Amino acid sequence: MATSGTPRRRSREDVAEMALQLLDEYGLPDLTMRNLATALGVQPSALYWHFPNKQALLAAVSARILAPLAELPIEDLGALGVHEAVRVLGARLRDCLLTYRDASELVSSSLSLGLVGSPVRPQLLEVARRHGVPDALSEVAAEVLVHFTVGYVFHEQQRRTADSLGLLDAPDSLNPEDAVAATSDGDSFAKALTMIADGLDVSVTRNAEPRA
Amino acid sequence: MATSGTPRRRSREDVAEMALQLLDEYGLPDLTMRNLATALGVQPSALYWHFPNKQALLAAVSARILAPLAELPIEDLGALGVHEAVRVLGARLRDCLLTYRDASELVSSSLSLGLVGSPVRPQLLEVARRHGVPDALSEVAAEVLVHFTVGYVFHEQQRRTADSLGLLDAPDSLNPEDAVAATSDGDSFAKALTMIADGLDVSVTRNAEPRA
DNA sequence: ACCTGAACACCGTTCAAGT
DNA sequence: ACCTGAACACCGTTCAAGT
């Protein structure tokens, strides 16, 4: 891994990086193969040499978005209890998603399609193992954590761009009181993480008896 | 509200109903305005008399999918504790989403866009109020519950249609062990609901001191 | 190995005009 | 009130052919 200096290995990563910039600047609906090709000074068909289809491209972009979390060394969480690990991982995931426009929508779909791995699962499992928590429990906690966080930030980001477009739609259909539900600040997010962590704590103390 | 018998009030609901059938039979990607118009024996442009755009149409379809939950009388949950209410509402929501193909993806987007209200919020708030739980807590619980459930079933349905297409993609990027994470049966879903309910219980007993 | 050029089979949406 | 006809401005993807 030290022999190759810079063997003209352009492209695949460059394409994903440019896609990420386009995403952040113009949003997911405008992240088209044609716009991306134009930004790269290339024909649309050229992109299909690097990626088999658009979804694979988007998966690569998702991986870039989640990279700070994937690269986070497990040792940085070593000192934490399981409860705190849940909260920290959730907050970090939210940070990653809030870094780029429409990131949560993109990641949500890549995640559901199984084209990208869970961004918190490996770390949470490792920390939990060190505290003697059975994997079955931390698997479930990881799933609750990632689904809630992505869904929450999805909502957060959609309202953000909707507001910036001046689109305030009157909720006509079912619940006229859901303007109240739109109180989605970072504070209620933190509360939710605590609730999830509490739920895991209870599961742990129920399933594994203490060493007394 | 009792004067009008059947004043030739066709259409808007019929369009949404047909859209729901197309969704279930051919999936979300094939639910196009053109296919829908053809199925109705009408020109595509005719749809724009009933709905301002496609997203509004999809919101109406989402409302139909969630109708069994919205129409669920609060009295049916009256006997339950808050803990059980969380689990029942989550399970019912999952049932609604599993009834139609790609329903979770559709509802996820309508929900994020704020075009449809939370399907569990009113009921959970009401039950929680009767047990003296502060609204702030049940709001958070409702949000965790709906985001997790929709996200979970999204994943569930995506893998379902992916399998039916014979698309088993090798997870190349980050975590080669996430084939293990794909163990998404209804059992782990139930475990997750319990964990969420536990988290709410802890919050309740922490914030509101017992009547002793 | 990497890209062009041109085409194929589609999209959502608008809008004058019909009845 | 409800729909047609025709157009506008796009999509993702394929594939022979170039270098």
The pLDDT score that the predictor gives to residue A161 is 80
**Contact: A121, B181; criterion CB under 8 Å:** yes
Partner-chain residue, chosen from B60, B146, B203, that has the shortest CB–CB distance to A195: B203
pLDDT tens digit sequence for A40-71: 999 999 999 999 999 999 999 999 999 999 99
Is the CB atom of residue A6 positioned under 7 angstroms from any atom of strand C?
no
Domain-located, residue B62: no
**Contact: A198, B196; criterion CB under 8 Å:** no
Partner-chain residue, chosen from A70, A171, A196, that has the shortest CB–CB distance to B199: A196
Predicted TM-score (pTM) above 0.75: yes
The pLDDT score that the predictor gives to residue B10 is 58
pLDDT per 10-residue tile (average), chain B, 212 residues: 38 96 98 98 98 98 97 89 98 98 97 96 96 97 98 92 62 40 70 98 85 52
The pLDDT score that the predictor gives to residue A200 is 98
pLDDT tens digit sequence for A170-197: 443 334 344 344 454 669 999 999 999 9
Is the CB atom of residue A32 positioned under 7 angstroms from any atom of strand D?
yes
The pLDDT score that the predictor gives to residue A185 is 65
Which positions 24-53 on chain B have a beta carbon less than 7 angstroms from any atom of strand C? 30, 32-35, 44-45, 48, 52-53
Domain-located, residue B191: yes
Domain-located, residue A20: no
CB A71 within 8 Å of CB A96? no
**Contact: B139, A188; criterion CB under 8 Å:** yes
Question: Residue A155 is part of a domain; what is its CATH number?
Answer: 1.10.357.10
CA–CA min distance B196, chain A (Å):
6
Chain B: residue nearest A118 by CA? B178
CB B28 within 8 Å of CB B54? no
Burial B177-188 (b: 16+ CB within 10 A, else e): ebeebeeeeeee
The pLDDT score that the predictor gives to residue B207 is 81
CA–CA min distance B167, chain A (Å):
10
CA–CA min distance A59, chain B (Å):
9
Cβ–Cβ pairs < 8 A, chains A and B: 186
Strand C nucleotides in reach of protein CB atoms, 7 A cut-off: 2-7, 10-16
* Structural domain boundaries, residue B147: 73-208
**Contact: A158, B114; criterion CB under 8 Å:** yes
Task: Measuring from the CA of residue A10 to each C1' atom, give the nucleotide at the shortest distance.
Answer: C2
Domain-located, residue A26: no
Is the CB atom of residue A33 positioned under 7 angstroms from any atom of strand D?
yes
Task: Measuring from the CA of residue B54 to each C1' atom, give the nucleotide at the shortest distance.
Answer: C12
Q: Concatenated DSSP letters for B71-136?
A: TS-THHHHTS-HHHHHHHHHHHHHHHHHHSTTHHHHHHHHHHTTSS--SSHHHHHHHHHHTT--HH
Domain-located, residue A138: yes
pLDDT per 10-residue tile (average), chain A, 212 residues: 38 96 98 98 98 98 97 89 98 98 97 96 96 97 98 92 62 40 70 98 84 52
Chain A: residue nearest B190 by CA? A140
**Contact: B117, A147; criterion CB under 8 Å:** no
Domain-located, residue B6: no
Domain-located, residue A11: no
Q: What is the DSSP letter of A133?
A: -
What are all long-range contacts of B205-212, with beta carbons under 8 Å and residues at least 24 apart?
B207/B134, B207/B137, B208/B132, B208/B133, B208/B134
Q: How many CB atoms lie within 10 A of CB A196?
A: 26
The pLDDT score that the predictor gives to residue B185 is 65
CA–CA min distance B28, chain A (Å):
13
**Contact: A148, B152; criterion CB under 8 Å:** no
| C1' (C8) to CA (B198) span, angstroms | 56
CA–CA min distance A132, chain B (Å):
18
Partners of residue A83 in chain B, C-beta under 8 Å = none
**What is the total count of domains within chain B?**
1
Strand D nucleotides in reach of protein CB atoms, 7 A cut-off: 2-7, 10-16
The pLDDT score that the predictor gives to residue A180 is 40
User: How far is residue B196's CA from residue A144's CA, in Å, rounded to a whole number?
Assistant: 8
Partners of residue A197 in chain B, C-beta under 8 Å = 199
Domain-located, residue B142: yes
Backbone φ and ψ of B20, nearest 5°? -65, -40
Residue to substitute from A105, A106, A108, A148, interface B, most B β-carbons within 10 A = A148
